[in-house]
Structure 1
Amino acid sequence: MTSEQNPSQLDPVADLLETLDLQPAGQARIRVDSPAGDDAVDLGDNEADLFVGRSQPQPHGRVFGGQVLAQCVIAAGRTVADQPGDASRPIHSLHGYFLRAGDSNEPIRFAVERLRDGSSFSARRVHALQHGKVIMSMNLSFQVAADGLDHQASMPAAPPPERLPTAADEVGDIDHPMAQHWAYRRAVDIRHVEGPLYLAPGAQAAAEQKIWMRVTEQIPADPLLHAAVLAYSSDYTLLESVLRRHRLAWSDPRIRAASLDHAMWFHRPLRADDWLLYQQESPSASGGRGLGIGKIFAADGTLVATVAQEGMVRIKD
């Protein structure tokens, strides 16, 4: 085991918090031209707030998609929190597209457009950029707390997380960079109810699974940070319901998988450092793509978020 992989020398939670601590990087102007010959449409100039953040090194050299999701949430939320008056506008939804693979050894710049600040909602658009190209584009919405109709789906039954093995229990003794990363370098403790798919397919070809997850240490009580960390965590396993249905494991060298888009709705307050049950299913796979849908529950049964993601899932000879 190398010193970089030695768990005694790592602090994954501190690394995650540093990654999400974006730094202001000035402002820029984005010109949006109207269609040729159409004088009735003039979208004009939009001012963008710029932020920069580091990337977390990955064994395969590509940026983890959940990292970019979380950083987009932080960047957009920073421009909502600095509005005059009532700044308490938690995020309630995001819709993003992964456009290019990012380099995990390089920083990322984030350009945030302030699309609208209404009496109840604030809308933002974020472009994540590396080497002058957009690697992710996301729209986000934030809302002032409000009363209204209230109902939710029921939390499914699951054994308590303390009874389930950790990733370190499953693959921690394997001398391979990816296994060591799963076991020791992630800030999120992930425990599979139906068994993991790291090395072998699941026992049943079912297009559904459940995951217990939480940050391994307590993090600051900032609602924006907890929402960002939940977005980060939500990207780890959502496509596994596709793999499980077709009795595939991540170790299968034929698999070519990548996230294409990600949508998320935040329903109720949450803490990402408490245990959360992530119920996942895949209603469809076709055309080299697989769809994953997830519901995230607090341990007391409160539905805190719903997630949807489509990914490229190809099997090569």
Structure 2
Amino acid sequence: MGTTLADVLSLDQEDGRTFRGHSPVPSPPRVFGGQLVAQALAAAGRTVPAGRRPHSLHAHFLHPGDTALPLTYEVDDVHDGGALTLRHVVAVQGDRSLFRLVASFGEPRPGPAHELPSPVPRAFEAVPAAEAGLAGAEPSTRRWAAGLRAVIPLDLRFPALPPRDAVVRGERPAPRQRILVRAADPLPDDPLLHACAIAYASDLLLLSTAMLPHGLVMGDPRVHAVSFDHSVWFHAAARADDWLDDEMESEWAGDGRALCHGRLRDAQGRLVATVAQEGALRTARA
């Protein structure tokens, strides 16, 4: 049995403000960006007062990480106020800083509330399991999905054939995609752990959305695509081992960069989290 998401998010505390994390087994050669985001948020959350949940995180990717080596997360106390707790986290391997994150935490407070309804129906039970949902896909798409599930401890379903499949067939779909995602194994009843799991999932496939209208996919040797920064705003507490609907879009790309957004909703249609990411998107010169 491979590493569970709960295992990935369970950090060893070396002292009051230093934590150690590990990559799942099996794992891709480079540390998945969502892992850095989630483990850094878990480290920060272990240092805040009880009852304060994550409000937001803002992170920058500096260098790729080696999944064969442990990761050290160093937490700095930036602010401890009556309403807000702020933490800064650096992820380190050896003598190199890989990643930096600033996360804010607070207690729920009363106030005006509104939410734009989503036009996407959420009959999660009608979405088939990944294998059945990809039955009509190209063989390379099925291999891609199987390889992804082998190294990422998340369960995925596709409400429609992923637009990557259209690219493989020579089409150029719009820069939008949608998946259902949840932790592959049940998680303990810890709100911080579920927020971290949502942060983990928030990076999945996001930057690849910007590649679709250009006839490109992740892994194409012609393209260089890496994340620069990643932000998540948490709106509602949700279980990450229940299905979440992740709608992704890229409204802009240019100057060797691309901007992408994601919105995660639960089965009731509540907006759980909003995600923003900018990354490099460049192709090799002909």
The alignment status of 1:294 with 2:262, answered yes or no, reads yes
User: What's the CA shift for 1:299?
Assistant: 1.0
Which of 59, 81, 99 is the equivalent residue of 1:96? Answer: 59
The alignment status of 1:196 with 2:162, answered yes or no, reads yes
Alignment partners' CA distance in 1, 2:121 and 2:269:
11
- Report the structure number with the largest CA radius of gyration: 1
Determine what percentage of the aligned residue pairs are the same residue.
Answer: 38
Deviations 1:7-63 (A, max 9, x none): xxx344x3x222211111125xxxxxxxxxxxxxxxxxxxxx111111235665110
Which of 13, 18, 26 is the equivalent residue of 2:7? Answer: 18
Distance 1:120 1:206, change over 3 A: same
Alignment partners' CA distance in 1, 2:174 and 2:144:
25
Alignment partners' CA distance in 1, 2:215 and 2:139:
24
User: What's the CA shift for 1:76?
Assistant: 0.2
What residue ranges of structure 2 are gaps of 5+ in the alignment?
Answer: none
Distance 1:161 1:253, change over 3 A: farther
Which of 112, 124, 129 is the equivalent residue of 2:87? Answer: 124
Alignment partners' CA distance in 1, 2:73 and 2:231:
19
Deviations 1:106-163 (A, max 9, x none): 0000000011111111000000001111100010000111111101121232463444
Alignment partners' CA distance in 2, 1:214 and 1:172:
24
What residue ranges of structure 1 are gaps of 5+ in the alignment?
Answer: 1-9, 28-48
TM-score (norm 1): 0.80
Write out aligned runs for 1:5-154 (5 A). 10-12=1-3, 14=4, 16-26=5-15, 49-56=17-24, 60-80=28-48, 83=49, 87-154=50-117
Alignment partners' CA distance in 1, 2:143 and 2:93:
25
Distance 1:103 1:178, change over 3 A: farther
The alignment status of 1:216 with 2:184, answered yes or no, reads yes
1:42 aligned residue: none
User: What's the CA shift for 1:213?
Assistant: 1.1
Alignment size in residue pairs? 280
Distance 1:237 1:166, change over 3 A: farther
Alignment partners' CA distance in 1, 2:15 and 2:138:
43
Alignment partners' CA distance in 2, 1:303 and 1:295:
7
Alignment partners' CA distance in 1, 2:235 and 2:226:
27
- SS of the equivalent of 1:273 reads coil
The alignment status of 1:243 with 2:211, answered yes or no, reads yes
